[in-house]
Structure 1
Amino acid sequence: MSIEKAREFIKRVKNEPDLLRQAACFQTREERRRWARGLGYGGERLF
């Protein structure tokens, strides 16, 4: 994932309380990657 896409994703998560709560509940990187892919982001090495 490009730096720009990663920044866009982080900004989106921080600005949407529901997404921030969802992100906080994952225990593994793989769970977070799958979640990010579901939101339309590549999910590779994002977290």
Structure 2
Amino acid sequence: MAVEMILESLSEGKSIENLLEAYPRLSRDAVLAALSFAADALKGEKIYPVAV
């Protein structure tokens, strides 16, 4: 299961338990790793203000 799919499912309101039931080969550690990966990816982004 892709990180993107895990994040989308969680953002739609599904719980980790819902994901684990729907995807028996998925582990809680894998879901937490996906969240950690996303957090690390965002840390590296730079935000530049734009005048409107």
The bucket for the TM-score relative to the shorter chain is 0.3 to 0.5
Where is the helix percentage greater, Structure 1 or Structure 2? 1
TM-score, structure 2 normalization: 0.30
Name the structure, 1 or 2, with higher relative contact order (CA <8 Å, separation 6+).
Answer: 1
Point out the structure with max Rg over C-alpha: 2
TM-score, structure 1 normalization: 0.32
